[in-house]
Amino acid sequence: MSNSFKAVILAAGQGTRMKSKVPKVLHKVIDKPMVDYVIDESIKAGASDICVIIGHQSAMVKAMIGDRVKYGLQTEQLGTGHAVMQAGDFLKGDEDIAVLCGDTPLITAETLKKLADIHNAQNNSVTVVSMILDDPTGYGRIIRSGENFEKIVEQKDATDEEKACREVNTGVYIFKGADLTAAFEKLTNNNAQGEYYLTDTLEIIKNNGGKVGVMVADDPDEFLGVNSKLQLGEATTIMKKRINAFHMLNGVTLQDPDNTYIGKDVKIGEDTLILPGCYIEGDTEIGSDCIIGPNSRITSSKVNNCVTVQNSTMINAFVDNYTTVGPYAYLRPNSKIGEHVRIGDFVEIKNSTIDDGTKVSHLTYVGDSDVGKFVNFGCGTVTVNYDGKNKFRCKIGDNVFIGCNTNLVAPVEVADNAYTAAGSTITKDVPGDSLAIARARQENKEGWRVKTGK
């Protein structure tokens, strides 16, 4: 029997307890919005299609998630059952329907796979995930008759005896599609809040002769719902520990795991050392035998093997083997750094290619440039790439020596083996094997201060 399923993710709520202008599900855990984790894990678990139910600031949520899912719009907040109904035609068909919450970023694909397996193996009409809590306050209670499911009672509708139950509803379910749509035909809002509870569909399905199963969660942390900035911090701490443990078990050394933040999609090779204070995010890939940090931020970049990055920032950049970056360097988008390169302190590289063996040691800006092999940049060099309206490129050949405080006014080319004198402003191409000097001859006016009375 196939365990394929479709997923409906509830993401329409305002999240007033977040006290934020940003929709709740878009708040980030490390480097990704909460709802992205739920979508990604659903896909990993085998979801064939996903529908996200949006409502509050729906345009913002849709813009962040993009077109990889379908959408349903809940214009009025009339309960979880009403929210799932907004999936409309998405619910039709033979596949099972998993219902998930967009504010539970810690859920895993493994748990969703296990849920689908149990649901199919037991031939349930619906299977709900429960968890056992020491303090169940605020959660809907799973009420059983012996071992069998009887009903779910919301906290505000529960009796004192029912409130004493420690088995609670996580808000995660998987339904047979036909049984869910049939239950919706009988669903009412006859309760204290006047809302359409999705939980009521379980009792309807049971009364219709369907089988309701319960899967008790192995790890309640996976179902931590984030409703405030405090809970967002708690989820971030759990996610950070989970990700860091994965990398350490796979051969990465984290000198201070509590002070290291690594995104879920980051890949790091064996015997790489991550020093304290690092923030590594996006789809970054770091090779083996690297030293990263301390206090470096790397975003959606690729770093090959045996690279050292100290106290520096990289965004959408590439660094090849045996190169050193920093301290206090800034590699901006589309920077491509070759092997055995030295990018030193207070150096900024932007939209440029730096070939093998080149040294840009300190206090230099290289923007919109193509730099050859074994070039030496003197301190204070600037590629002047912007005239106030347009950007232009510089081209620097192999074995070029750029003197200190040189301005290369693009578009300009310095050919192989050429030199520029310190303090020059280069506005014309420099031929190979030449020395370019572009500065005014020094003139000393003796006694000038006395004569002018300065």
Do both 109 and 175 map to the same domain? yes
Summary mean pLDDT of the chain: 95
Q: What pLDDT is recorded for position 11? A: 97
Q: Is pLDDT larger for residue 15 or for residue 81?
A: 81
Contact 152, 80 (CB under 8 A): no
Q: Is the pLDDT of residue 428 over 50?
A: yes
State which of 182, 205, 223 marks the end of a domain.
223
Range(s) of the domain holding residue 40: 5-223
Give tens-digit pLDDT for 296-341: 999 999 999 999 999 999 999 999 999 999 999 999 999 999 999 9
Taking the C-alpha atoms of residue 85 and residue 392, their distance in angstroms, rounded to an integer, is 55
Label residue 63 by pLDDT band (50, 70, 90).
Answer: very high
- At residue 3, the pLDDT reads 72
Q: Is residue 258 part of a domain?
A: yes
As a whole number of Å, the end-to-end CA separation of the chain is: 94
b/e map 388-402, b = 16+ CB within 10 Å: eeeebbbbbbbbbbb
> Does 274 share its domain with 399?
yes
> What is the tens place of the pLDDT at every residue in 342-355?
999 999 999 999 99
In a domain, 446, yes or no: no
Q: Which amino acid is at 391?
A: K
In this predicted model, what pLDDT tens digit does every residue of 235-268 receive, in sequence order? 999 999 999 999 999 999 999 999 999 999 999 9
Is the domain of 170 the same as that of 42? Answer: yes
Q: Is 115 left (phi over 0), alpha (psi -120 to 50) or beta?
A: alpha
Is residue 453 one of the residues assigned to a domain?
no
Instruction: Give the CATH number, domain containing residue 16.
Output: 3.90.550.10
Is the domain of 267 the same as that of 134?
Answer: no
Q: Please list, in sequence order, all residues whose beta carbon lies within 8 angstroms of the beta carbon of residue 377, skipping any fewer than 6 positions away.
A: 358, 359, 360, 361, 364, 366, 402
2 pLDDT above the threshold of 60: no
Q: Are residues 329 and 376 both part of a single domain?
A: yes
Are 324 and 432 part of one and the same domain?
yes
pLDDT of residue 280: 98
Residue that terminates a domain, selected from 223, 243, 274 = 223
Task: State the total domains in the chain.
Answer: 2
Average pLDDT over residues 190-212: 90
Annotated catalytic residues are 362
Is residue 192 predicted with pLDDT exceeding 90?
no
Same domain? 263 vs 215 = no
CA dihedral of 29, 32, 36, 40, whole degrees rounded to 10: -100
- C-beta separation of 71 from 191 below 8 A: no
Lowest mean pLDDT of 146-150, 287-291, 380-384, name the range: 146-150
pLDDT for res 449: 86
Q: Is the pLDDT of residue 1 over 80?
A: no
Verify that 48 and 110 share a domain, yes or no.
Answer: yes
What integer pLDDT is reported at residue 319 of this predicted model? Answer: 98
Q: Give the pLDDT confidence of 13-25 residue by residue, as tens digits.
A: 888 999 999 999 9
Mean pLDDT of 61-88: 95
pLDDT tens sequence across 27-61: 999 999 999 999 999 999 999 999 999 999 999 99
Strand (E) positions, 294-341?
Answer: 297-299, 302-303, 308-309, 313-315, 318-319, 324-325, 330-331, 336-337
Q: What whole-number percentage of the chain has pLDDT above 70?
A: 100
Tens digits of residue pLDDT in 373-427: 999 999 999 999 999 999 999 999 999 999 999 999 999 999 999 999 999 999 9
pLDDT above 60 (res 71): yes
CATH code where residue 342 lies: 2.160.10.10
Query: What does the block give as tokens for 288?
Result: 């083996």
Residues 204 and 337 in one domain: no
From 177, 203, 223, the end of a domain falls on: 223
The 10s digit of each residue's pLDDT in 441-450 is 889 989 988 9
Mean pLDDT across 4-19 = 93
The whole-number pLDDT of residue 229 equals 97
